Amino acid sequence: GSDLDMGPAVANAVEQLRITVDQAAVLAATNPAAFLGLSHERGALAPGLRADWVVLDAALKPVETRIAAAEPVAA
């Protein structure tokens, strides 16, 4: 659909592509950054890169978001 955020996208990848949550999370992080030409600053948790991340629960629903490693934002 036209309204799909990363939580459901990761869940869909796990279910439909039969990949692990870890594999889906890597795809969800690296592909958008690469597509936008931002791999030099985003798309992985590594020294020197911007530390943005989302914490998902066991059902792959977002429970917390961190932007530039700032204080958490409730989902």
Report d(CA 35, CA 44) in Å as an integer. Answer: 14
pLDDT recorded at residue 71: 65
* DSSP alpha helix (H) spans, 1-75: 6-17, 21-35
Domain count, the chain: 1
pLDDT higher than threshold 90 for residue 50: no
- Domain extent, residue 70, equals 6-74
Structure token digits, residue 24: 């889906």
Place of tokens 């066991």: 58
- The reply to whether 52 falls in a domain is yes
- The reply to whether 1 falls in a domain is no
Average pLDDT of the chain is: 85
Per residue in 12-44, pLDDT (tens digit) is 999 999 999 999 988 888 888 899 999 999 888
- The reply to whether 24 falls in a domain is yes
